[in-house]
Amino acid sequence: MSRISEIFSGFRNLLFGNPAIEQMAQEREAICAICPHAGVSIYLHCNLCGCYIPAKSRSPLSKCPDGRWPSPTLKEKESGNKTRSS
Ligand code: SF4
């Protein structure tokens, strides 16, 4: 997945998310909340990749640039399964 696709996916899920995406985002944002690389200037962002964290955390295939998030492949599978079963 290209970076543009990841960004688009994250913003789309920010606007039109579902319970599985929100669960994943909450878990990721809890990690970001205590991460020394998280920054707040005019927006909440990651200082390593520059991404807007509320959108990045909702993009299933996005990865933490410091390896702090669980595997995106596993998370993508989990959110896909939950989405299909709900
Ligand atoms: S994406 Fe990773 S490195 Fe960036 S703020 Fe979140 S936990 Fe930290």
Structural domain spans, the chain: 3-65
> In angstroms, how far is the first alpha carbon of the chain from the final one?
25
Nearest residue (by CA) to ligand 1, atom 3, is: 66
For ligand 1, is residue 25 a contact (CB within 6 Å)? no
Q: What is the distance between the alpha carbons of residues 47 and 51, in angstroms, rounded to a whole number?
A: 8
The DSSP code sequence of 26-83 is HHHHHHHHT-TTEEESSSEEETTT--BHHHHTT-TT---TTS-SPPHHHHHHHHHHHH
Residue 17 has a pLDDT of 80
pLDDT at 1 over 80: no
Overall average pLDDT of the 10-15 stretch: 93
Q: What is the distance between the alpha carbons of residues 58 and 13, in angstroms, rounded to a whole number?
A: 6
Residue pLDDT, tens place only, 22-79:
999 999 999 999 999 999 888 899 999 999 999 999 999 999 999 999 876 555 555 5
Residue 85 has a pLDDT of 40
For ligand 1, is residue 38 a contact (CB within 6 Å)? yes
